[in-house]
Amino acid sequence: MKDFFTTFRISFPAVAFFELILALFAQFFYKDPFSIRSIVDGLSTVSLLFFSAGLLLFVYQGGGFDGVVYSFRRFARSIRNRQIGENDAEAPLAEMKHHDGKKRASITWPLIIDSCLLFIASLLLSQM
Q: Write down the domain spans for the chain.
A: 1-63+105-128, 65-98
Mean pLDDT of the chain: 80
Residue 30: count other Cβ atoms within 10 Å of its Cβ: 14
Residue 51: count other Cβ atoms within 10 Å of its Cβ: 19
96 compared with 40, residue with greater pLDDT: 40
Q: What is the mean pLDDT of residues 58-68?
A: 80
Q: Which of 17-21, 80-84, 107-111 has the largest mean confidence?
A: 17-21
Q: What is the mean pLDDT of residues 1-11?
A: 63
Q: DSSP label at 62? A: T
Predicted local distance difference test score (pLDDT) of residue 121? 93
> Phi/psi class of residue 62: alpha, beta or left (left: φ > 0; alpha: ψ in -120 to 50)?
alpha
Predicted local distance difference test score (pLDDT) of residue 65? 77
Predicted local distance difference test score (pLDDT) of residue 52? 95
Query: How far is residue 48's CA from residue 60's CA, in Å, rounded to a whole number?
Result: 18
Query: How far is residue 114's CA from residue 111's CA, in Å, rounded to a whole number?
Result: 6
pLDDT band at residue 99 under the 50/70/90 scheme: low
Beta carbons of 57 and 23 less than 8 angstroms apart: no
Beta carbons of 125 and 47 less than 8 angstroms apart: no
Ordered alpha helix ranges (H), the chain: 8-25, 36-61, 66-80, 108-126
